Homo-oligomer: A and B are copies of this chain.
Amino acid sequence: MNSLQSYLNTNKDRFVQELFELLRIASVSADSAYSKDVFKAADFVADSLKTAGCDSVEICQTKGFPIIYGEKIIDPKLPTILVYGHYDVQPADPIELWDSPPFEPIIKKTKLHPEGAVFARGACDDKGQMYMHVKALEFMTSTNQLPCNVKFMIEGEEEVGSDNLAEFVKHNTTKLKNDVILISDTGMIAKDTPSITTGLRGLSYVEVEVTGPNRDLHSGIYGGAVANPINVLAKMIASLHDNNNHITIPGFYDKVENLSNDERAEMAKAPFSLENYKKSLEINAVYGEKGYSTNERNSIRPTLDVNGIWGGYIGEGAKTVIASKAYAKISMRLVPNQDCEEITTLFKAHFENIAPEGVTVKVTPHHGGQGYVTPTDTIGYKAAAMAYKDTFGTAPIPQRGGGSIPIVALFEKELKSKTILMGFGLDSDAIHSPNEHYGLYNYFKGIETIPLFYKYFTALQA
C-alpha cells in the first residue's frame, strides 16, 4: 500500500501519545466508582473516530455505558467492514503488584520487547488493539486509500458482559449491516508467529454465597458444633472436580464438541514449549484435565475456575471466628455447543443440591456468553491471512483461543456475518493482570496489517 510505512514513521510518536491519553482514563466498567471515567473514555473514542475520518459518529446511550458508533460510507455498492472493540478495562487489582501505576502509561523495554512496550491497564485489552483500527482508518482516509465502507462499534461494557450491546445490536441490524466483522481483542502465538483465532470459549460466571449461622461466632464456643460456611464452601468447590480434574456437574459435558484425532494432531503442530511455559509462570508442573495437553486444556476443553473467594477474618493477625457467610466467584469457560445459560442452570441446580444441612446457598449468575468457531475457508479469513503474510512475511496459523468474547456468537446470529479475530496481543502481555503491557512492535504491526485486510477483502469480494 502506498506510503503506509512512511506515514507510520512520520506519525509513530503521535500514535503512542494519543494511546497514552486514552490509557490515562481509568475506564473500569466493573466498579461503579469509575463510572465517570468510563463515560470520559467513550467521549475520547467518539472524538478520535471523527478525527480519523468517520463521516458521522454517534454516542449511543444505553442503560449502562454508551456505545460509540461511527461510519464512513464511500459507496454503498462496495463491501462494508464492521470493526468492533471496547474502551472499558478490567479492574487494576491487585494494585500493589503493579510496578508502575496502572493508569499512568509508561514505555519500558523488556527482553521480549527491546523496542519497548506500553505498560498500563488496557494497553493491550482492548484500548491498544482497538486504537490500531482508529489509526489505520486515519491512514486510509488521509491518504485517500480507503477501499470500502467501514463502520465502528466500540462499547464500554465488554468486561462486564456486554448486556447493553446485545440489545443495541438486536435493534440496529440495518445500521450495522456489514460483510465481515473485524475484531482485534485476541492474541497471536508468538511475536514472530502470527495466528488467527478461529474459536473462542463461551463463559458462565456465577457468584455463590454460603450462609451458616446468622452471625459470626466464637470458634472456641461453637467450633466443631456448627457448619462453618468457609469449610463447607471449600468442600463444595473441591467436589466440583474429580480426581482426574473432570468437572462433576451432571450434564456439564453432554454437548461438548469432541475433536477428531486428526484435528487434535493438527493442533499439536503449533509451536509450543512446555518448559518455557512453566518457566514463564514459575511453576514446577502444569495441572489440568487428564487426557489432554496444555494447549487443549485451555482451548477446546471446558473449564471451571474460582476467580475470587472471601469470608471470615482476613486482616492482620489472628481472629478466632466462625464466619456467618462465605463467598466465591466462579467461572466456567465453555466450548462450542455448550449453551452458557444451560450451563449456568446446571451449575446452580448442582451447587444448591450439594449444600449440606446446616447451611443455605445462593447462586447469582453474572454475565455469560456463547462460544464461537470461525471457518477458515471464508473470504474474510483469506484476506486476513494475506494481510498477515505481507507484514510478517509468514502465513498465520489458525488457532483456537481459550478466552471469550461473548458478543461474537450474537453478531453471527443477529447480523448474519462472520467475525475475523485478528489479534496482535501476546500471552505474556499480562492482560487482566498487574503490569499489563502491549509491545510497540505489535501496536505498529497492527496498524500496518489492518489496511491490507481492507485491501484484500475488497479485492476478493469483488
> In residues 285-307 of chain A, which contact B (Cβ within 8 Å)?
285-289, 294-295, 297-298, 301-303, 305-307
Instruction: Determine whether A415 belongs to the interface, using a CB cutoff of 8 Å to chain B.
Output: no
* In the complex, per-residue mask of A301-325: 1 if CB is within 8 Å of any chain B CB, else 0: 1110111111111111111111100
B319 touches A312 (CB 8 A): no
Name the one of B29, B224, B288 contacting A333, with C-beta atoms under 8 angstroms: B224
Name the one of B285, B326, B430 contacting A309, with C-beta atoms under 8 angstroms: B326
Contacts of A288 in B (CB 8 A): 224-226
Contacts of A359 in B (CB 8 A): 283, 287
Contacts of A331 in B (CB 8 A): 219, 223, 318, 320
A307 touches B322 (CB 8 A): yes
Cα–Cα, bound, A219→B326 (Å): 22
Chain B binder among A76-84, A237-245, A381-389: A237-245
Cα–Cα, bound, A368→B281 (Å): 36
Contacts of A205 in B (CB 8 A): 318, 320
Nearest Cβ on chain B to A38's Cβ, whole angstroms = 12
Instruction: Determine whether A118 belongs to the interface, using a CB cutoff of 8 Å to chain B.
Output: no
B433 touches A298 (CB 8 A): no
Given A91-B313, A213-B282, A357-B284, A220 contacting B308 (CB threshold 8 A)? no
A220 touches B403 (CB 8 A): yes
B31 touches A315 (CB 8 A): yes
B318 touches A283 (CB 8 A): no
Instruction: Determine whether A358 belongs to the interface, using a CB cutoff of 8 Å to chain B.
Output: yes
Given A223-B298, A227-B283, A432-B216, A30 contacting B317 (CB threshold 8 A)? yes
Instruction: Determine whether A201 belongs to the interface, using a CB cutoff of 8 Å to chain B.
Output: yes
B320 touches A203 (CB 8 A): yes
Instruction: Determine whether A7 belongs to the interface, using a CB cutoff of 8 Å to chain B.
Output: no
Number of A residues with CB within 8 Å of any CB on chain B: 103
Nearest Cβ on chain B to A199's Cβ, whole angstroms = 12
Contacts of A333 in B (CB 8 A): 219-220, 223-224
Nearest Cβ on chain B to A32's Cβ, whole angstroms = 7
A306 touches B316 (CB 8 A): no
Instruction: Determine whether A268 belongs to the interface, using a CB cutoff of 8 Å to chain B.
Output: no
Cα–Cα, bound, A213→B289 (Å): 17
Chain B binder among A18-26, A103-111, A228-236, A258-266: A228-236
Instruction: Determine whether A356 belongs to the interface, using a CB cutoff of 8 Å to chain B.
Output: yes
B225 touches A297 (CB 8 A): yes
Cα–Cα, bound, A160→B235 (Å): 28
Cα–Cα, bound, A302→B225 (Å): 11
Instruction: Determine whether A404 belongs to the interface, using a CB cutoff of 8 Å to chain B.
Output: yes
B286 touches A433 (CB 8 A): no
Cα–Cα, bound, A67→B61 (Å): 64
Name the one of B287, B289, B314 contacting A226, with C-beta atoms under 8 angstroms: B287
Q: Using CB atoms, name the residue of chain B closest to A125.
A: B218
Cα–Cα, bound, A359→B283 (Å): 7
Contacts of A1 in B (CB 8 A): none
Contacts of A227 in B (CB 8 A): 283, 285-287
Instruction: Determine whether A271 belongs to the interface, using a CB cutoff of 8 Å to chain B.
Output: no
Contacts of A231 in B (CB 8 A): 237-238, 241, 305-306
Name the one of B238, B302, B313 contacting A238, with C-beta atoms under 8 angstroms: B238
Given contact pairs A30-B319, A205-B318, a sample of 15 additional A-B residue pairs in the complex whose CB atoms are under 8 Å apart = A160-B318, A215-B433, A219-B333, A220-B298, A221-B427, A222-B281, A225-B286, A227-B286, A234-B306, A235-B237, A235-B241, A283-B358, A284-B358, A308-B314, A310-B310
Chosen A-B contacts, 26 in total, with CB atoms closer than 8 Å, are A29-B317, A30-B317, A90-B321, A203-B220, A203-B320, A207-B318, A212-B283, A218-B433, A220-B404, A221-B401, A224-B289, A224-B303, A224-B402, A227-B287, A230-B306, A230-B328, A234-B234, A234-B306, A307-B321, A308-B311, A308-B314, A308-B319, A310-B311, A314-B329, A317-B366, A319-B432
Interface residues of A (CB under 8 A from B): 29-32, 90-91, 93-94, 97, 159-161, 187, 201, 203, 205, 207, 212-228, 230-235, 237-239, 241, 281-289, 294-295, 297-298, 301-303, 305-323, 326-329, 331, 333, 356-360, 366-367, 401-404, 427, 430-435
